Each structure stands twice: as structure tokens, then as C-alpha cells.
Chains A and B, each alone.
Chain A
Amino acid sequence: MAELKNLTAILVKEFKSDFRNPYVLGGAGLFLLSTLFVCYITIKRIHQPSIWVALFWIIMLFTSFNAVAKSFMNESRARMLYLYTLIGPSIFIVSKMIYHATIMLVLSMVAVLVYTTFFEITIEDRLVFFASVVLGSTGLAITLSLLSTIASKAGNNLTLLAILGLPILLPLLMVATTLMKNSIDGIDLSVQYKYLFVLFGLNLSSLGLSIVLFPYLWRE
């Protein structure tokens, strides 16, 4: 029970510090909106669902790099060491992952709203469409939580995060795009459930690996 209390305490602290200093979240949100607007100005109309889906996930990918990488740059080394001795690394990484996932969920909902207004499309299976958005963006958030810690150890370099992250995130994006495209086309759930299952599994395996590996990263 003490773990749960610590977890919520850290989460509350994260959101509070975001309220006081909203430039991290605001920056990521503004990045998302400007990218969406640039796409709208330059492309105007998308007829093919596959291109519609691909563009959406490319925008989400770069938004997630921005949102997640910034959060670790904020954390000073001394404060991280303090939190580590206070609550232990596993709780810390779980709380970070929940925090990143929440941010990504908010950003992805904004993205869906704006993107569907700019580029109109009829979605046949709305439930699976939203499932793909939710699972895809939480997957991005969870995987990038560990990778951004790795990149921050090597000097907080956004290029390094992209190099490390892209090959590991590609399978996740492949499944998420297939799922989303099928949901727009209205493919039956009997075909879709295996993609849902794999996407969920990728989320879980990334979560499990992060919890196991993060304690080794922390100690210096």
C-alpha cells in the first residue's frame, strides 16, 4: 500500500510542477498544433486512408519525442537521487511512465480532434479506431520513458533519442497503423483482435522490461 501512496505522491508532484511551469507541456502541445497546421496548409486534402493514417502517426511520433524527452531534461540529478533514496527506482519509473502516458493521451486526443477537422474522413469502426490511438500513444510513452533515460545519461541529446527510439518504435507503429487503417475501412473485429492483442502485448513487454532494467540505469 505504501508503494501506491508513493506512486500517487510522485504523480501529483509531476502534475503540480507542470501547472506551475507549463512551458514543457505547452511547448509539446504547440509543436503538435503547428505541425498539424503545416500539414494542412501544404497537403490540404488526403483521399487515401493509408496516407491519412501514416501522416497521423508520423506527427504523433515526433510529438512524443518532444513531450517525453523534455520531461527528463527538467529533472536535476540531485533531485532524482533524492527521489531514488526516498521511494526506489521501480516506483519512480512506473510513475514516470503513467505521467508520460497521460500526457500522450491528452495530446493524442487533441491531435485526433484537430486532424479529423482538417482532413475529413469517415471512420467505420470508431471503437477500434480509438483503441488504436490509445494503445499506440501509451506504447510510445512507455517505450520512450526508458529510452529517454538512456539518452539523458549520454548527455541529453534529442538526436540520440531519435536514433535509439526509431528502430524500437517501428514495430509498434507498424501494428498501430495497420489497426487504424483497418478500423477506417471497417474490417471485422475477428481480424482486428489479433492486432489489438499484439499492440497490447508490445505495451506490456516494454513496461515489464523498463521496470526490470531501470534500477541498473539509476546507480552510477
Chain B
Amino acid sequence: MQRLPLSFKITTIILVFYTLIAGLLIDVPALNILNETIRNLFFHVTSWFAMVFLFFASFVYSIKYLRTANERDDLLARLFVQVGMVFGAAGMLTGMLWANYTWGSYWVPDPKLNGAAIAMLAYLAYGVLRNSFQDNIQRGKVSAVYNIFAFVMMLLFVFILPRMTDSLHPGNGGNPAFSGYDLDNTMRLVFYPASIGWIFLGVWITEMRFRMEGLKQRKK
């Protein structure tokens, strides 16, 4: 992974601060039950986007590692998963808070929620698997194989299974997604920059951690 240019970092800072300020201040459609919680769209949905993007990056680096056996690719695959888990945890916590105010409970037996929890468990298992090896090359290979397997299966859980059954979740089972509420398109003005902002932030954190690991190894 190459060093990120300064323009990338400035864009990230602008996008993240724009999301935080505009996300809390712009006018949102006034709706029953949802009320101001609709702002969670800028934080909850976008966190999941960032998580899926980071896991996808990890998946790509795992494939690269299996082809090249370059240790840097294995390191990047690991770091992308770790940063992705942070965004996944953020998405889950914001979703649980929102669910408590709109559905009346922190957790409901909903296919989308269960799918997300299963995906997080699979990546926690990835961490456990990595720690059970002594040999670097074998660790890299076996965990890359599991990562690829888990990612494809995660795509199946998160995107296909919830669509088979009814769900309380907005966008499923006859419940409109945000485009149904957002008639004058004001929310899109924050939603898209927010998605890009969180993804960029995740990539930036990963790049910094990658450089840190490189420095650590040089010190040894």
C-alpha cells in the first residue's frame, strides 16, 4: 500500500467534519415515530458501508496473498479486518440505540440484525484463527483461505438471506428505505459525503497502522 497523498487526508477531514456538523444540523423530514432519529442514517448505514468496503479490501488482499505470498498483503488483510470491525461495532451500537427508540428494544429477532451479528462472529473467529499459529507463512495462508470463505458467506448472509423473509428493518418487508422518506433529496446531500467520508477514514486508519507495523518490524 502506498502512502496516501495529502489531498486524500484533507478531503477525509472535510468530509468527516461536514458529516458530523451537517448531519446533526440540517433540516430532516419530520415523521412520526422516527422524528429526529432519522439522522441515524448518516451514521448507522454509512458505518455498515464502510465496514463492507473494508472487509472487501481485506478479501482482495487475501486473494493477493494467496497468489504472491507477500507478507505485506497478509498484514494489510489483517489490518483491514481489524479496522472494519471497529466500523461494524459502531454500526451495531448506533443501530441498537436507534432500535431502542423506534422499535422499543435494543435487539429484535430480525434477519438483518442476525445476519450482521453472524458476520461479526465470523470475523472474530478470523482473529482467533490467526492467533493459533506459530508459523507466519502457514498463518497467512490458512487465514487468507478462511477470510475468502467467510467474506463470500457474509455476502450471502447480509444481502440475500434478509431479503427472503419479512423484516422490520427500513427498506425490507414493505418498509420504505430512506429514499421513501426523503422527498426533497436534502438527506442525500449528507448521506453520500458521509459514506465516502467514513470509507476514507477507514482506509486512512489502516494505512497509518500499516506504516506503524512497518516501523515496528524495522526496529526489531
Does B192 sit within 8 A of A, measured CB to CB? Answer: no
Closest B residue to A168 by CB, please name it.
B153
- The answer for the CA separation of A216 and B141 in the assembled complex, in Å, is 7
Contacting residues of chain B (101-131) with chain A, CB-CB under 8 angstroms? 111, 114-115, 118-119, 121-122, 125, 128-129
A interface footprint on B15-41 (CB within 8 Å = 1, 0 otherwise): 000000000000000000000000000
**B129→A160 contact, CB < 8 A:** yes
- The 6 A-B pairs at the shortest CB distance, nearest first, are namely A167-B122, A167-B121, A154-B132, A213-B145, A163-B125, A153-B142
Contacting residues of chain A (155-211) with chain B, CB-CB under 8 angstroms? 155, 157, 160, 163-164, 166-168, 170-171, 174-175, 178, 194-195, 198, 202, 205-206, 209
Count of residues in A whose CB is under 8 Å from the partner chain: 30
B113 → A minimal CB distance (Å)? 13
- The answer for the CA separation of A195 and B165 in the assembled complex, in Å, is 10
Known: A154-B129, A155-B132, A160-B132. A171 touches B153 (CB 8 A): yes
Instruction: Pick from A153, A166, A171: contact of B156, CB below 8 A.
Output: A171
- The answer for the CA separation of A178 and B162 in the assembled complex, in Å, is 13
Closest B residue to A178 by CB, please name it.
B165
Does B181 sit within 8 A of A, measured CB to CB? Answer: no
- Could you pull out 26 A-B pairs where Cβ atoms are within 8 angstroms? A150-B146, A160-B128, A160-B129, A160-B132, A163-B125, A164-B128, A164-B146, A166-B121, A167-B122, A167-B125, A168-B149, A168-B153, A171-B118, A171-B156, A171-B161, A174-B161, A175-B161, A198-B160, A198-B161, A198-B164, A205-B156, A209-B152, A213-B145, A216-B141, A217-B141, A217-B142
In the complex, what residues of B have CB within 8 A of residue A168's CB? 122, 149-150, 153
- The answer for the CA separation of A155 and B142 in the assembled complex, in Å, is 12
B interface footprint on A125-161 (CB within 8 Å = 1, 0 otherwise): 0000000000000000000001100100111010010
- The answer for the CA separation of A209 and B154 in the assembled complex, in Å, is 13
- The answer for the CA separation of A154 and B152 in the assembled complex, in Å, is 22
Known: A154-B133, A194-B164, A198-B160. A167 touches B119 (CB 8 A): yes
**B125→A164 contact, CB < 8 A:** yes
In the complex, what residues of B have CB within 8 A of residue A174's CB? 111, 114, 161
Q: How many A-B residue pairs have CB under 8 A?
A: 79
Does A220 sit within 8 A of B, measured CB to CB? Answer: yes
In the complex, what residues of A have CB within 8 A of residue B141's CB? 216-217, 219
Does B157 sit within 8 A of A, measured CB to CB? Answer: yes
Instruction: Pick from A157, A167, A175: contact of B118, CB below 8 A.
Output: A167
Known: A202-B156, A217-B142. A209 touches B149 (CB 8 A): yes
**B138→A220 contact, CB < 8 A:** yes
In the complex, what residues of B have CB within 8 A of residue A217's CB? 141-142, 145
